[in-house]
Structure 1
Amino acid sequence: MNKYLLPAVACLVLGTSAAFAHITLETQEAPVGSTYKAVLRVPHGCDGKATIAVRVQIPEGVIAVKPMPKPGWTLQVKKGKYEKSYQLYGEAVTSGVKEVDWSGGSLPDEFYDEFVFRGTLAADLPAGQKLYFPVVQECDGATTRWIEIPAAGQDEDALEDPAPGLNLLPKK
């Protein structure tokens, strides 16, 4: 390999590894008013320890959430009232899933896995903005809280433990 190319490749690999260090959404944009399949990508454990639980908070405006069970994991949902009423298939919806918890499994640090749920993005969500899904990752004796949401004008890359984000596109 060219001696000038090697440092460039090393910088590229090292520079992109930080982006893969966080829990992220596989699909990072979707139109408002659509059904969205959220795939949370968990690339590692906490400080080398196995992941034993993943909890995701469902943001306001994501309704009719249905999580996908994972073999070997216990699935629980926490339900509550929405801040307002939403329309879904012509019916008013005022409550639903507010948090999804997968626990009791074991995802060793050296492996990768995905945790999936689907829901409807309310038609009145603001297109052009970002919606965040705070996640708490529990490991054997350690916890990482991927819950940071940037303040107005703040660069997401400056956050140490950013919440996975979804760019809201205009309704199709």
Structure 2
Amino acid sequence: MRSLPARRIAAVALTAATSVVVLAGPAFAHVTVNPGSAPQGGYTAVDFRVPNENDTASTVKLEVNLPLDHPLASVRTLPMPGWTATVEKSKLDKPIKVHGNDVNEAVSKITWTADAGTKIAPGQFQEFRVSLGPLPTDTDKLIFKALQSYDNGDVVRWIDEAKDGQPEPAKPAPVLTLAKAAAGDDHGVTATPSAAADGHGHGDAKNEAAADSSAKSSDSTARVLAVVGIVVGLIGAAFGVVGLRRKNGGSAS
């Protein structure tokens, strides 16, 4: 019996690919922090990834609230063409020590507003990059409550906190998981005394540049591995069908 036609193999692969996309879709539907983890006590660069979930309206504003129970002394936004970033600060109830200096206020909100002619259209997403640090050492996560505004007036509030043992909420807040820093970590993401040179606890350019590079590398590696896994799975499924068809055909003859 002849082998399964190429178009049948392609159909099997397409079906498998569709199943992968359908199953993976919900994981990409929320506003998230990427990468989702960073070492405690250091600096990092993250992207707030914002997908447009509305089929008839476009996203024109993102508000991200930073936790003041674990304030961050250094918060800087990466300029993005077509978007204006506004940073708001709040006075802290209790000053924090950063590299020996008292810090009395911290960034409490970042708002990105689309300029005229700019938007996140249906079927698109955008990433808003921020450098943060030094990250706290007394908690294992930071929660960033976010509001996503559309040009039709709708506002989606990504503010719900996930609870252990319970299903994920419908509108979960973006979360950055904090892990214990590895002993002897010398990758440049840990704060150094020179980071306090301006008296406000801001990290130096070397620390933040290294953190940005590390974040890009981690995210790119994860994407590549995911694509490779899908491709291998599709090939395996297609050849499995071919082998089964040949076996059944041989038994019948």
TM-score, L = length of structure 2: 0.60
1:37-96 per-residue CA deviation (whole Å, 9 max, x = no partner) reads 121111225353111100000113241211223222222111102353322222121211
The corresponding residue for 1:150 is 162
Pick the structure with more strand per residue.
1
Say if 2:71 and 2:106, in contact at 8 Å, map to a contact too: no
Q: 2:131 aligns with which of 111, 118, 123?
A: 118
Higher relative contact order (CA 8 A, sep 6+): 1
Per the alignment, do residues 68 and 45 of structure 1 end up closer, same or farther by CA in structure 2, a change over 3 Å counting? farther
Matched position secondary structure for 1:38: strand
Pick the structure with more helix per residue.
2
Q: Which amino acid aligns with 2:142?
A: L
Say what the alpha-carbon RMSD is for the aligned residues.
Answer: 2.2
Q: Calculate percent identity across the aligned residue pairs.
A: 29
Structure 1: gaps (5+ residues): none
Say if 1:45 and 1:108, in contact at 8 Å, map to a contact too: no
Q: 2:21 aligns with which of 3, 7, 13?
A: 13
Say if 1:36 and 1:118, in contact at 8 Å, map to a contact too: yes
Per the alignment, do residues 108 and 5 of structure 1 end up closer, same or farther by CA in structure 2, a change over 3 Å counting? closer
The corresponding residue for 2:120 is 107
Q: Which amino acid aligns with 2:126?
A: D
Q: Does 1:86 align with 2:88?
A: no
Structure 2: gaps (5+ residues): 1-8, 183-253
The corresponding residue for 1:59 is 67
Larger Rg: 2
TM-score, L = length of structure 1: 0.85
